[in-house]
Chains A and B, each alone.
Chain A
Amino acid sequence: MRAQTMIAATALLCAATWSAAADASVIKIGALFAVTGPASFLGAPEQRTAEMFVEQINAKGGLGGHRIVLIVKDTQGSPEKAVSFAKQLIEEEQVFAIIGPSTSGETMRIKGLCEESRTLLISCAAAEDIVKPVARYVFKTPQTDADAARRILDVLKKRKLSKVAILSSNTGFGSAGKKQLETLAPEYGITIAANETYDKTATDLTDVATKVKAANVQAVINWSIEPAQAIIAKNIRQIGLTVPLFQSHGFGNLSYAKAAGQAAEGIIFPCGRLLVADVLPAKHPQRAVLMKYKTDYEARYAPDAVSTFGGHVYDALLILVSAVETAGTDREKARAAIEKIQGLVGTAGVFNFSATDHCGLAKDAFEMLTVKNGRFVLYKD
């Protein structure tokens, strides 16, 4: 009896696996998001966006006639988990493509893995290292951190602020941004008078702010994605520093501005146009896409809930849809199709890919924003 049950179970399992593998009407897309953990500010809106997008596509008859099956794995922002989940998605699930991971550190750890196994990876993380040097199967949708750094340095140069402090959190995002600023600052004739890294879970940073004050700088640039970026804003103002505060594109989430309250006023940061979609001129090329994503997302989840990070997943899926529609579900052809995408309007900007550019966005994909009366508005110098 027991042996029979075992055989039956095995047979059933085989049948199930076989039917799933052979089910041509389904296209499997893996997703690695930091849904929980310290980077959940990225992963949670990303997961919601992916679910919404896939539902919309499937309701319209799927992707080229194939129903999309989305397999989301929560990496908790840990590179080790990202690696093991990526292996699982590639080897067991044999997914068509992987969207994510949410953070640069995780992406760098699985870049080689995806390249070797010829799995399409469309990362939602910003570091330039992801696409430089180019890996044939690895793409990314957020604007490059080097461009964010350049936009900030542009403003500094224009305002003749030549002595700055750089603060960054001890994460992949923080150290990548710090590296970019260190490399680019000399080109703009800007000296770095203080350069400090703080813990991502810090509860108060008055001591770090004091060190900045001691360095007598003309501006502060902070590079992090964690809640600490709101803490540092408060601490800098509390100890009486009034110099301009610049943040990275990681500040693009209204809940940070709310957490910093009065101290957030006047913070300048580069960001995609999603958060200012409603004040863009009607004829702006991105306006239609941005407003559709914003209205859909906020209708489904909560008002004012949209964040740029979910937008990166939206773009990744737009790219994948475009590739499959032109080249079908052959992975090799789809990969080549992505490299040929021109003028695809996404939430982060207008994508123009090539064999040597796997990011596809230019410096102007960033808009400089500032905080005014608790809202994000366009920065004007």
Chain B
Amino acid sequence: MSSELALQYLLAGITSGSVYAVVAIGFNIVYNATGIINFAQGEFVMLGAMTAITLHAYLPLPLAIASAVLLTALAGALVDLLFIRWLRRPTVLRMIIVTIGVSILMREAALKVWDEKVRSLPYFSGNEVSSVRIFGAFISPQVFWLLGLSAAMVLVLAIFFRFTLTGRSMRACSANRDAAALMGIDTRSMVTLSFAIAAAIGALAGCAVSPIAQTHYDCGAPLAIKGFTAAVLGGLGSSGGAVTAGLLLGILEAASVSVVPAAYRDAVAVLLLLVILSVRPSGLLAGRDEARLKEY
């Protein structure tokens, strides 16, 4: 294989990897507050992008995205207020089942509000055919937006969860809800806030991946599966881990396509995931001791 071609495969991997990475980050927020996986995260991604596409008909792109992020954050908070806050004993299993239900509900609602057609936001810079040339290989400029956005999200979230009182309170809820309540933390509001932030991050991710992956009512689940895989691989709760793992997953997929038929792309990726997780069950970047304290 020529070095140009090898580089092109690497850039292809980074392209799909950047999509997985930016979606993966959203899984960590609800996890950090509740210890559960929010299975409606993919639908937040879809909802954000669909809303932005609709608003873009009336507003300039940055404003449309900002409004979509806000609206989706509201929808996220609403999901908690309507469906989760009322659970009398919010066990992990129950909350997972509720989020799965919510995801189906949101998908069906999107089909009714919009339709089955595929849409996309315009590329943030350039258009559908433009690409940046690096040593004879090509990459879409949108990938740089995705990488930049992922880095910004990781940084902001790290500061939020480590250094702000709200962020630390949120982590306390996940560690031990009763103890957090005894310390005077309003645990229920923390969960609501976590859903709002997760939805906002999902919506932002949805807008950024829309030019590459396109958006339709049913696009949430496939994105969420890859995003979830990356989040687990990176170690749940760690945003930096999610981004690293997302890129790694993309690069592994592209590498597999270069040697075996593309039909096996997902199979190869899942196989590697299983191998990595059997060696490091807590994920790539999460500490082992930390993982031992978690419920699963």
Which residues of chain A are within 8 angstroms of B213 by Cβ–Cβ distance?
203-204, 231
In the complex, are the beta carbons of B257 and A211 less than 8 A apart? yes
Which of A5-13, A62-70, A237-245 interfaces with chain B?
Answer: A237-245
Residue pair B118, A259 in contact (C-beta under 8 Å):
yes
Q: How distant is B123 from chain A, measured CB to nearest CB, in Å?
A: 8
- A255 near B16 with CB under 8 A, answer no
The answer to whether the Cβ of A79 comes within 8 Å of any Cβ in the partner chain is no
In whole angstroms, how far apart are the Cα atoms of A231 and B221 in the complex?
A: 17
| Contact digits for B177-189, partner A, Cβ 8 Å, 1 yes 0 no | 0000000000000
Q: In the complex, what residue of chain A is closest to B129 when comparing beta carbons? A: A237
Q: Which residue in chain A gives the minimum CB-CB distance to B221?
A: A201
**Is B216's beta carbon under 8 Å from chain A?**
yes
CB distance from A317 to the nearest CB of B (A): 21
- How far is A238 from B12 in the complex, measured between Cα atoms in Å? 11
Q: How far is the CA of A208 from the CA of B257 in the complex (A)?
A: 7
- Give the chain A neighbours of B115 by CB distance below 8 A: 44
Q: How far is the CB of B128 from chain A (nearest CB, A)?
A: 4
Cβ-closest chain A residue relative to B226: A203
The answer to whether the Cβ of A209 comes within 8 Å of any Cβ in the partner chain is yes
Q: Mark A187-210, 1 if CB is under 8 A from B, else 0.
A: 000000000111101111011111
Tell me, yes or no, whether B85 is within 8 Å of chain A by CB.
no
Alpha-carbon separation in the docked complex, A211 to B261 (Å):
10
Write out the residue numbers on chain B whose beta carbons fall within 8 Å of the beta carbon of A343: none
In the complex, per-residue mask of A209-222: 1 if CB is within 8 Å of any chain B CB, else 0: 11101100000000
B116-A259 in contact (CB<8A) = no
CB–CB A206/B263 < 8 A: no
**A314: CB under 8 A from chain B?**
no
* Interface pair A262/B127, CB less than 8 Å apart: yes
CB distance from A280 to the nearest CB of B (A): 25
A259 contacts which chain B residues (CB < 8 A)?
118-120, 214
A43 to B212, CA, bound (A): 25
**Cβ contacts A43-71/B at 8 Å (1 or 0 each):** 11000000000000000000000000000
Q: Are B9 and A207 in contact (CB under 8 A)?
A: yes
Q: Is B140 an interface residue (CB 8 A)?
A: yes
Most chain A CB atoms below 10 A, which of B12, B120, B222:
B12
Cβ proximity bits B202-219 to A, threshold 8 Å, 1 near / 0 not? 000000010011101011
* B237 close to A (CB within 8 Å): no
CB < 8 Å neighbour of B116 from A36, A207, A208: A36
- With both chains docked as a complex, state the minimum distance between the C-beta of B202 and any C-beta of chain A, in angstroms: 15
B129 near A207 with CB under 8 A, answer no
Residues of B within 8 Å of A255, CB to CB, are 117-119
**Which partner residue on chain A sits nearest B222 by CB separation?**
A201
Which of B117, B258, B261 has the most chain A CB atoms closer than 10 A to its own CB? B117
Q: Quick one: given A44-B115, A206-B12, A210-B8, are A196 and B261 in contact (CB under 8 Å)?
A: yes
Structural contact, B16 and A231, CB atoms closer than 8 A: no
A41-B117, A230-B118 known; A207 vs B261 contact (CB < 8 Å): no
Residues on the B chain within 8 Å of A38, using CB:
218
- Give the contacting residue for B218; candidates A40, A203, A240; CB below 8 A: A40
Q: Does B11 contact A (CB under 8 A)?
A: yes
B258 touches A204 (CB 8 A): no
A181 an interface residue at 8 Å Cβ cutoff? no
Are A210 and B9 in contact (CB-based, < 8 A)? yes
Question: A residues within 8 A CB of B139?
Answer: 238
Interface residues of B in 22-40 (CB under 8 A from A): none
Cβ–Cβ contact B5 & A214, under 8 A: yes
| A263 within 8 A of partner (CB) | yes
B118 contacts A240, C-beta separation under 8 Å: no
Decide yes or no whether A227 CB sits under 8 A from chain B: yes
A265 to chain B, nearest CB (A): 8
B43 within 8 A of A: no
CA distance A202 to B115 in the complex (A): 20
- Whether B103 is near chain A, meaning CB under 8 Å from some CB there, is no
By a CB distance below 8 angstroms, the chain B residues around A261 are 122, 127-128
A347 to chain B, nearest CB (A): 20
Which residues of chain A are near B265, meaning CB under 8 Å?
Answer: 198-199, 207
Q: How far is the CA of A38 from the CA of B122 in the complex (A)?
A: 23
Query: Is A239 in contact with B138, judged by CB distance below 8 angstroms?
Result: yes
Tell yes or no: B223 within 8 A of A by CB. yes
Q: Smallest Cβ distance from B156 to chain A, in angstroms?
A: 24
Q: Which A residues are in CB contact (< 8 Å) with B235? A: none
Q: Which residues of A contact B19 (CB under 8 A)?
A: 203-204
> Within 8 Å of chain A (Cβ to Cβ): is B167?
no
CA–CA, A44 and B217, complex, Å: 13
A23 to B127, CA, bound (A): 59
**Chain B 45-65 interface mask (CB, 8 Å, partner A; 1/0):** 000000000000000000000
Residues of A at the B interface (CB closer than 8 Å) are: 36-38, 40-41, 43-44, 170, 196-199, 201-204, 206-211, 213-214, 227, 230-231, 233-234, 237-240, 255-256, 258-264
**10 other A-B residue contacts (CB within 8 Å) besides A199-B266, A240-B138, A261-B122:** A44-B116, A201-B222, A203-B213, A203-B219, A207-B254, A208-B262, A230-B214, A231-B214, A238-B131, A240-B131
